[in-house]
């Protein structure tokens, strides 16, 4: 069993980018952070990145442990959470952050690219939330934060699958907030805009400049801009906020 004052945080996709920054924003003595990651194309690099996140959390005197777990695989996900629950007996915060893109114009989009993105970005959030919500209901406390996207609200050319998945996350967030509120559980979404990570590094200069033109604050965001909002939503100061979508986009959507 966990020590009474230990705070247990689970982050999906914590090996790099926004997920890593979220892990670091929670890192402090007395907090245990468990995160997963998954990369079919380069599992070794992903494991190295995950070890780096663990190290940086440890540098801040926190504790982190990670595992390669594909959130599309329900058995793997349930083993992952059962392992955490066996060890700690509780989960205080779940951040559903893992996500992928497979862009293409709607009329050319392959069914497998549609399915892959919806499975990771939306069904993965459902699977993790369902498992953790049951535990949080018994605890009568908890905080769930889902990472959506500004394009889940605005749509975006070439991202029919991604924007649909992120719009779905917003609907799921609002429903879960209503269903779980009476048990003392808050559920909110963050909608980041254009954030500097591996996900956006692959963009051409042209696409990048077009994106920057749409940002009133005239800069790309950093993972830390998103992470600080996640830390706030999980804090005592945000205990009266639920079912909301917080845009962290430099004003891309106003
Ligand atoms: P990233 O590509 O740098 O990192 C993605 C993380 O998700 C990695 O840790 C990866 O291992 C994990 N992951 C991917 N597929 C997985 C699977 N099937 N099972 C378990 N883990 C998996 O991405 P980034 O940019 O840090 O994005 C994080 C979240 O923020 C995503 O949900 C993304 O859609 C969202 N977002 C990102 C924006 C950006 O501009 N970077 C803008 C809006 C939203």
Fill in the DSSP letter of residue 195. B
CA 37 – ligand 1 centroid, Å:
9
222 class by beta-carbon count within 10 Å (0-12 exposed, 13-18 middle, 19+ buried) = middle
- pLDDT the model gives residue 1: 42
CA 238 – ligand 1 centroid, Å:
24
CB 125 within 8 A of CB 146: yes
**Ligand 1 residue neighbourhood (C-beta within 6 Å):** 12-13, 15-19, 36-39, 46, 70-72, 97-100, 120, 147, 149, 192, 194-195, 197-200
Marked catalytic residue, from 34, 37, 162, 253: 162
Identify the residue whose C-alpha is closest to ligand 1 atom 23.
199
Q: Which residues of the chain have pLDDT under 70?
A: 1-5
Q: Is 162 a catalytic residue?
A: yes
pLDDT above 90: percentage of residues in the chain: 93
- pLDDT the model gives residue 5: 64
pLDDT in tens, 16-58: 999 999 999 999 999 999 999 999 999 999 999 999 999 999 9
38 class by beta-carbon count within 10 Å (0-12 exposed, 13-18 middle, 19+ buried) = buried
pLDDT in tens, 226-249: 999 999 999 999 999 999 999 999
Label the pairing between strands 142-147 and 63-68. Answer: unpaired
Q: Which atom of ligand 1 is nearest to the CA of 195?
A: 40
Pocket test for ligand 1, best of 25, 73, 99, 102 (most atoms within 8 A of CB): 99
Identify the residue whose C-alpha is closest to ligand 1 atom 18.
70
Q: Which atom of ligand 1 is nearest to the CA of 14?
A: 9
């Amino acid at each position: 069993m966990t020590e009474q004052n230990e705070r247990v945080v689970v982050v999906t996709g914590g090996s790099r980018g926004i997920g890593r920054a979220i892990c670091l924003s929670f890192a402090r003595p007395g907090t245990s952070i468990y995160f997963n990651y998954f990369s079919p194309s380069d599992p070794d690099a992903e494991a190295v990145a995950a070890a780096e996140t663990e190290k940086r959390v440890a540098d801040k005197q926190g504790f982190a442990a990670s595992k390669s777990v594909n959130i599309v695989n329900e058995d793997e996900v349930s083993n992952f959470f059962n392992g955490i629950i066996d060890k700690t007996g509780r989960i205080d915060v779940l951040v559903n952050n893992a996500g992928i893109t497979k862009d293409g114009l709607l009329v050319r989009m392959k069914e497998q690219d549609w399915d892959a993105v919806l499975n990771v970005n939306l069904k993965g959030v459902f699977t993790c939330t369902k498992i953790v919500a049951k535990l949080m209901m018994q605890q009568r406390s908890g905080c769930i934060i889902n990472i959506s996207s500004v394009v889940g609200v605005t749509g975006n050319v070439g991202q029919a699958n991604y924007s649909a998945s992120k719009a779905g996350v917003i609907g799921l967030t609002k429903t879960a907030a209503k269903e779980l509120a009476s048990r003392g559980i808050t559920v909110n979404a963050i909608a980041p805009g254009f954030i500097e990570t591996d996900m956006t590094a692959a963009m051409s200069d042209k696409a990048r400049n077009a994106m920057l033109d749409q940002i009133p604050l005239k800069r790309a965001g950093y993972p830390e801009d998103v992470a600080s909002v996640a830390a706030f939503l999980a804090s005592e100061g945000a205990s009266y906020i639920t079912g909301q979508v917080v845009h962290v986009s430099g004003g891309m959507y106003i």
